[in-house]
Amino acid sequence: MNILKSYKYILYGLDCANCAKKIEDKIAKTEGYEDVNVNFSTLKLSFKTDKKDGVKEEIVKIVTSLEPEVEVLDEGKKKEDTQRNGFDIIRLILGLVIFLIGMYGNFGDLVCNICTVVSLIILLSRTAVKGFKQVTKNKVLDENTLIVVSSIGAYLVGKGMEGVMVITLYEIGKILEARAVSKTRKSISSLMDIKPEYANIKINDDVKKVLPDEVKIGDIIVVKAGEKIPLDGKVISGAAELDNSALTGESKLVKVKKDDKVLSGSINAQGLIEIEVEEVYENSTVNQILNMVENATDKKAKTENFVAKAAKIYTPVVMGLAVIVAIFMPLIFKDVTYSQSIYKALIFLVISCPCSIAISVPLSYFSGIGKSSKRGILVKGSDYLDGLKDIGTVVFDKTGTITTGSFEVSQINALDSNYSEEEILNYFAMGESFSNHPIAQSILKLTNIDFDKQKVEDFKEISGRGLSYKFEGNTILVGNKELVDYDKDKTEGTKIFLKINETVIGAINLADTIKEGTKDALDKLKDRDIKVRIFTGDNRRIANKIADELEVKNVEAEMLPADKYNALEKILKKYKNTDGKVAFVGDGINDSPVLALADVGVSMGGVGANSAIEASDVVIMTDSIDKINEAIEISKKTSKIIKQNLIFAITTKIVILVLSTIGIAGMWQAVFADVGVTILSVLNVLRIMWKKI
């Protein structure tokens, strides 16, 4: 197999959601390109290919064959939008002035007529070229064609003034629309302004500024106050207070000192630190977050897909209807002339353009995703953002999700007098040093034994139960009572045992505490009529105790990962179509299968567990359960704005359609129903980001 390389480009000047889809489809159909995605909200084109030469050239060719005005830029290159707007404004003024001179200059009918035609040519030029290309190249009749046909049509039926006004309003609308869209895009990208621009790398005693992706693992970087941490690593000297708000949405400063791990994307608010880099930029937290959010539109929401598909068939259908109106109205109503019916059909066409919906729906989802990421909630697709609002049941994993997962060791029991407490602890620690379960970390905190890792053989993690290894010829088991087959234990709490060969030698009592704010967060979920359940691999008594404390009725304990999977599958089947979606919230340690199975898989404590990030649909960067409520709020808000925009667009269009049929509204109002509605909808989208949730 050839190695696929990822590419990213900016499609500068891409101004219609429909064209984004067309470009995406065409590249995807071209041989050798995979995972093609065009994100209309960020203008980013991404894909993978194993081709080595001429990739950009080929892409440029495909893109310009569809959208000649679009420029393919390398990622990171920015261009200001003003240039094109400036030219359009000059053209607009020129066209209008010529028209007004002809109209009010008293030069007679012929001059007036010539001026109107010239003005129409100037005003229509850009739109006509665009529309013509769509018709000839893509065989679609789009908005541009509609407007051109309408303006020319108005002129031909003797309403030259209307014709000029249509295109003028349309052009003004387009300029404003471009501004509104670019403003929205800017707000979204400022939400995600976490990309580090440079790293200060320290070589001997010199400090040099380099790009983050030039830094290697093991390099030392210096981060001064006010700078972003560019790569993940470990502090080796100095101390600082970090602002992690861009990652977690929490504004409390976090103190770090020597030996603490730090994540890229956080800002050094105060202090000076030197960091030993532990991940290259590609794998660093900040890049993972950016990738996840940018690729979020891979998984498009049903509404979004529906809109994209609908737009494709919608215009031809409307065109057909308009032709019917134009031909049959005079036949049915005797007092309607053909020029009147054609004019009505044209109004009809302009009103029914679906542009506002096609633009505002993807922008809304993207704003919602941007907003969530600002709050430390990474949503992997508009599909999931949409799904969050429909959640009817949330199933929580216990350890590390509902509880802190940092166990206090309350007691070490020796059950066999041949071994001392210290020896017992050492056997525990040797095994746990290979595990990344929260229990492992807690036990390792108790001791700093030094042992030869080579001597530990055949280490196996037994998911949901514990672990096993061989040491000096003995078989050692560390885990819960099911694993070691020990039924004499009746104490409360999480207890793990040590078994050497056939005998249980010792036990450690662990106490885990419920995370702060969990009860309130669960109560809020219940207030929304969302059912709450707990699944845990821990023993029944501790599970019940925690469930009681949190007033959760449904709790299942002593589950292996496979049991969790089966139980969730049952719930999914039972609630399908009746009780909303089912979310599973876990910490990602041994629950990747359930995370992937749930309608919405949510992993907590985000950074670190890569498998969890991959398997889940939503990643919460903090430890706070309440973030689920926030995510649901953002989802609801987004969907509310989408609905408002849909209703606004459809009602305005219907009202103006009716008014024009009875002769009250003319072409101007029709143009408002098209571009005016688009601008207002896009401005409405901005509220998703502004509104405090």
Please give the positions annotated as active site: 397
Footprint of ligand ADP on 528-547 (CB under 6 A): 536-538
Tell which one of 496, 597, 602, 677 touches ligand ADP (CB under 6 A). 496
CB of 414 to ligand ADP, least distance (A): 18
C-alpha–C-alpha distance, residues 137 and 131, integer Å = 10
Under rule CB under 6 A, residue 439 binds ligand ADP: yes
Residue 267, phi-psi category: left (phi > 0), alpha (psi -120 to 50), beta (remainder)? beta
Under rule CB under 6 A, residue 381 binds ligand ADP: no
CB of 612 to Mg ion, least distance (A): 10
Per DSSP, what are the bridge partners of residue 262? 233
How is 92-136 classified by DSSP, letter by letter? HHHHHHHHHHHHHS---HHHHHHHHHHHHHHHHHHHHHHHHHIII
Count of residues binding ligand ADP (CB under 6 A)?
23
The helix or strand, by DSSP H or E, that contains position 34, with its residue range, turns out to be strand 33-39
Q: Which of 411, 324, 384, 424 is nearest to 628 (CA)?
A: 384
Q: State the binding partner of 464 from ligand ADP, Mg ion, none, CB within 5 to 8 A by kind.
A: ligand ADP
Checking 319-323 for CB contacts under 8 A at 24+ apart, the result is: 319/141, 319/146, 319/349, 321/348, 322/346, 322/348, 322/349
Output 255 or 445, the one with its CB closest to ligand ADP.
445
CB of 513 to Mg ion, least distance (A): 15
Under rule CB under 5 A, residue 461 binds Mg ion: no
C-alpha–C-alpha distance, residues 366 and 308, integer Å = 15
Under rule CB under 6 A, residue 287 binds ligand ADP: no
Output 197 or 458, the one with its CB closest to ligand ADP.
458
Output 166 or 395, the one with its CB closest to ligand ADP.
395
29 is written with which tokens? 């159909």
* Residue 674 DSSP label: I
Q: State the binding partner of 246 from ligand ADP, Mg ion, none, CB within 5 to 8 A by kind.
A: none
CB of 465 to Mg ion, least distance (A): 12
Tell which one of 126, 174, 228, 465 touches ligand ADP (CB under 6 A). 465
How is 568-579 classified by DSSP, letter by letter? HHHHHHHHTTTS
**Integer angstrom CA distances of residue 529 from 184, 297, 391, 393, 394:** 34, 29, 10, 9, 11
CB-nearest residue to ligand ADP: 537
Other beta carbons less than 10 A from residue 266's beta carbon: 24
Q: State the binding partner of 630 from Mg ion, ligand ADP, none, CB within 5 to 8 A by kind.
A: none
Tell which one of 440, 609, 612, 680 touches ligand ADP (CB under 6 A). 440
Footprint of ligand ADP on 419-438 (CB under 6 A): 432, 435, 437
CA 209 from centre of chain: 31
Output 319 or 439, the one with its CB closest to ligand ADP.
439
Residues 234-256 as b/e (b if ≥16 CB within 10 A, e otherwise) read ebeebebebbbbbbbbbeebeeb
The helix or strand, by DSSP H or E, that contains position 521, with its residue range, turns out to be helix 518-527
Q: State the binding partner of 284 from Mg ion, ligand ADP, none, CB within 5 to 8 A by kind.
A: none
Q: State the binding partner of 386 from ligand ADP, Mg ion, none, CB within 5 to 8 A by kind.
A: none
430 is written with which tokens? 């040797």
Residue 390, Cβ density class (10 Å: 0-12 exposed, 13-18 middle, ≥19 buried): middle
Output 364 or 399, the one with its CB closest to Mg ion.
399
Count of residues binding Mg ion (CB under 5 A)?
3
576 is written with which tokens? 């399908």
* Residue 218 near residue 277, CB atoms below 8 Å: yes
315-323, 334-342, 460-468, 660-668 -> range binding ligand ADP (CB under 6 A): 460-468
Residue 187, Cβ density class (10 Å: 0-12 exposed, 13-18 middle, ≥19 buried): middle
Footprint of ligand ADP on 568-597 (CB under 6 A): 589-590
C-alpha–C-alpha distance, residues 347 and 96, integer Å = 21
Output 122 or 589, the one with its CB closest to ligand ADP.
589
CB-nearest residue to Mg ion: 399
54-62, 449-457, 462-470, 617-625 -> range binding ligand ADP (CB under 6 A): 462-470
Under rule CB under 5 A, residue 468 binds Mg ion: no
Tell which one of 399, 403, 435, 639 touches Mg ion (CB under 5 A). 399
Under rule CB under 5 A, residue 274 binds Mg ion: no
Footprint of Mg ion on 532-591 (CB under 5 A): 589
HSE (CB half, 13 Å, CA atoms) of 570?
5
Output 538 or 617, the one with its CB closest to ligand ADP.
538
CB of 623 to ligand ADP, least distance (A): 14
CB of 144 to ligand ADP, least distance (A): 57
CA 134 from centre of chain: 31
CB of 469 to ligand ADP, least distance (A): 11
Output 383 or 432, the one with its CB closest to ligand ADP.
432
* Residue 47 DSSP label: E
Residue 529, phi-psi category: left (phi > 0), alpha (psi -120 to 50), beta (remainder)? left
CB of 512 to Mg ion, least distance (A): 11
Tell which one of 24, 162, 397, 461 touches Mg ion (CB under 5 A). 397
Under rule CB under 6 A, residue 264 binds ligand ADP: no
177 is written with which tokens? 């629309």
Under rule CB under 6 A, residue 515 binds ligand ADP: no
33-41, 229-237, 477-485, 596-604 -> range binding ligand ADP (CB under 6 A): 477-485
171-179, 465-473, 498-506, 641-649 -> range binding ligand ADP (CB under 6 A): 465-473
How is 216-284 classified by DSSP, letter by letter? -TT-EEEE-TTPBP-S-EEEEEEEEEEE-HHHHS---EEEE-TT-EE-TT-EEEEEEEEEEE-S-GGGS
**Interface contacts to Mg ion, rule CB under 5 A:** 397, 399, 589
Residues that bind ligand ADP (CB under 6 A): 397-400, 432, 435, 437, 439-440, 464-467, 478-480, 494, 496, 536-538, 589-590
